[in-house]
Structure 1
């Protein structure tokens, strides 16, 4: 397997999952600042021009964070990254969709790219203010729905925890106040060897 990634982006979560799984994999590092994701060598692999992108051993390619996470968990049951109970599986899907689609896709997106939402630079502070409010609201909802200790789900550690980890890295970067359970989750994630390996490889500091 080969993971196309950019350090500190959402691909970090998939990198963590690959480390948890323990199967051999390669890393292909991209620089978004240099536009590597838009260059022909990469768009030939993933025309969507984004990470994470996982090329499987048979050459086929998977894109989109939840799909990659699910496939890795489902094809490596011994890693214990996917709940066995259908009700808990549904909760895992619900959490991933909210984290990736809402907290990342709508809230943090406003903190990273104001021009996407307001072409006029004069309006960028308003976009940032809106983004911060959306991030806070999303974390409050995650805290309200929390079922495990310290993991998101009552059934224990899962790929949903890797999703929460990468956005919390961003939250700390932007000085977001973390709710108590999310803060505890962050510390628990940092204690996992798989997380430590991924962070070290990507040159990231906690």
Structure 2
């Protein structure tokens, strides 16, 4: 049976899936998709993920997961005997709420405007306004995310797959000077101390020692 394969792009939301796969100690392959070159729109990738989005995760049985939250929950439930997915149904709902808020609001409404303003139908003169609006949305959504976490440490007290999901938008905030609320800055620095996070960042071309410095 073939290894799992993660279709990803360095520095994107797929970094979260990459971290989770390292954390659960899965043997997996990586296929880098060059988004600027349009590889995500080529027939061979659309055959894997018709939406043309990343990440995608091909499982050992050949089936493919194409949504980050679904990938995270599947790995949390099915790897390492479910160690990184909460057993308590109430905590499971909190984990899903955090992950959907990150992917749908912080990323989908905020950082999407920052990174791809042209997707919002603006001309070059309006791009700065779209980016500024994205930064505002992301900053507010990060404040809301901070309120969803336990008071300290990991998001739900112990490490779960929700933590790498939070990490990728904290990383984006660091890279784009969007302010992180104190609770998220603490979480971000906490995550930077994990071996799997360090390895993935190095593999994706980043220097972990330069991150998490902003107050």
- TM-score under structure 2 normalisation? 0.91
- Residues 171-204 of structure 1: CA distance to partner in whole angstroms, max 9, x if unpaired? 1111112111111111111111111111122112
- Residues 157-182 of structure 1: CA distance to partner in whole angstroms, max 9, x if unpaired? 11111111111111111111211111
Would you say the 8 A contact 1:110–1:117 is kept in 2?
yes
Would you say the 8 A contact 1:21–1:79 is kept in 2?
no
RMSD (Å) for aligned C-alpha atoms: 1.3
Q: CA deviation at 1:80?
A: 2.1
Matched, 1:62 2:65: yes
1:90 match: secondary structure: helix
- The aligned length equals 205
Q: CA deviation at 1:119?
A: 2.4
Q: CA deviation at 1:87?
A: 0.6
Matched, 1:131 2:118: no
1:145 match: secondary structure: coil
Q: Which runs of 4+ in 1 moved over 6 A?
A: none
Would you say the 8 A contact 1:118–1:127 is kept in 2?
no
Q: CA deviation at 1:118?
A: 3.5
Residue 159 of structure 1: aligned partner = 161
Gaps of 5+ in 1: none
1:85 to 79, 84, 88: 88
Distance 2:200 2:179 in 1: 24
1:81 match: secondary structure: coil
Looking at both structures, which has the greater relative contact order when contacts are Cα pairs under 8 Å and sequence separation is at least 6? 1
1:2 match: secondary structure: strand
Residue 21 of structure 1: aligned partner = 24
Distance 1:167 1:205 in 2: 17
Q: CA deviation at 1:111?
A: 0.2
Distance 1:148 1:79 in 2: 24
Would you say the 8 A contact 1:118–1:124 is kept in 2?
no
Q: CA deviation at 1:44?
A: 1.5
- TM-score under structure 1 normalisation? 0.95
2:30 match: secondary structure: strand
- Residues 113-151 of structure 1: CA distance to partner in whole angstroms, max 9, x if unpaired? 111224222221211121111111111111222214211
Matched, 1:116 2:119: yes
Q: CA deviation at 1:77?
A: 4.4
Alignment of 1:124-203 (within 5 A): 124-154=127-157, 156-203=158-205
